[in-house]
Amino acid sequence: MQIAELQQLQEWFGSYVATFGDLDPEGLRNIRLKQDHTQRVVACMEALAAGEGLTDAETTLACAVALLHDVGRFPQYRRWRTFRDSESDNHARLSLEVIRDEALLQRLPAEEQLLIEEAVRLHNLLTLPDRISSPTDRFIRLIRDADKLDIWRVFLDYFQLPEGERASAVGLGFPDLPEVTPACLEALAAGEIVRLEQARVLNDFKLLQISWVYDLNFTTTRRLLLERDYLRRLAATLPASPLIQRAVDRAMSSLLTQSGQP
Ligand SMILES: [Fe+2]
C-alpha cells in the first residue's frame, strides 16, 4: 500500500463523515467525537509503529487499519443513537460492511485487503486467541493498543467538560452513581479484565478501562500510558475506598513491572 492510497482513504473518510452532518447538535457531538477519536488513533498508531520499529510499508498499512477500524460507528450511531454494541450491532462488523459497501480496498493487493479487513473485524474482541496464525496478528495487536490509548484520552477529556458540553454517548449510558459493582472490583483486584456485561454504573466502566493494563501487547504502549499518566488520572475520579485503591495499585504495579520499572 502506497502513502498516496492512505491519503485517498483519508479524503474518503472526511467526505464520509460529512454525510452525517445533518444530525441534531447532540448527534453531531457524538459523530465529532468518533471523528476525532479516529484521527487520534491514527496518530497513536504512528507513535506505536515508530516505537516498535515497523517499516514504512507496515506503518502505512497499520495507519489504514487505524483509520478504518471504527467507520461502523457512524452508521451505528445514526441508526441506534448509541455506541453500545449490545444494544445495537457489533461495530467492528459494521465497519467491515462500510469498507465493502464503499469498495475502499478494491485496488489493493488481495493479501493487504485481507489483512486490513481481518484486523478491523477482530479489533474489539474481548480477548484474542493465543496466536492468530497469520501476518494479521501483529496488526490486530497494534490496533487494539492504539485504540485503548485514545479511549483513555476520550474518557478523561469527557470528565473535564461541563456536563452540557459532553458527548453523551461516551459513558455508554451508564448512570454516574457513587458506587462500584462488586464483580467488577473483584475482577480488577484479581488482575483480570473487567467485562463490559459486568458493568452497571460509570465507575465500573472506569475499572474496566483500568483493567486494560492486563491486555496490552507492546512496550511502547506501556511507555506512552505511563508518560500520559492516564491510569492515575482515571483512578482519581473513582470513589475513595481501600478496596478500590488496592485493586488500582495492583494494576499500576503490574504496568510498572511489565514496563521493566520497579
Ligand atoms: Fe476505536
Per-residue pLDDT in tens (0 to 9) along the chain, 262 residues: 999 999 999 999 999 999 999 999 999 999 999 999 999 999 999 999 999 999 999 999 999 999 999 999 999 999 999 998 888 999 999 999 999 999 999 999 999 999 999 999 999 887 777 766 678 899 999 999 999 999 999 989 988 887 777 777 777 778 889 999 999 999 999 999 999 999 999 999 999 999 999 999 999 999 999 999 999 999 999 999 999 999 999 999 999 998 887 6
CB 100 within 8 A of CB 75: no
Q: Give 147 Cα–ligand 1 centroid separation in angstroms.
A: 5
Q: Give 68 Cα–ligand 1 centroid separation in angstroms.
A: 9
Residues 100 and 201 in one domain: no
Q: Give 166 Cα–ligand 1 centroid separation in angstroms.
A: 18
Instruction: Mention every residue, 6+ apart, whose C-beta is less than 8 A from residue 3.
Output: 60
Residues 37 and 124 in one domain: yes
Residues 121 and 206 in one domain: no
Q: Give 70 Cα–ligand 1 centroid separation in angstroms.
A: 5
Q: Give 55 Cα–ligand 1 centroid separation in angstroms.
A: 23
Residues 18 and 64 in one domain: yes
The reply to whether 168 falls in a domain is: no
Q: Give 71 Cα–ligand 1 centroid separation in angstroms.
A: 9
Which residues form the domain of 43? 3-147
- The CATH number assigned to the domain holding 69 equals 1.10.3210
Q: Give 23 Cα–ligand 1 centroid separation in angstroms.
A: 21
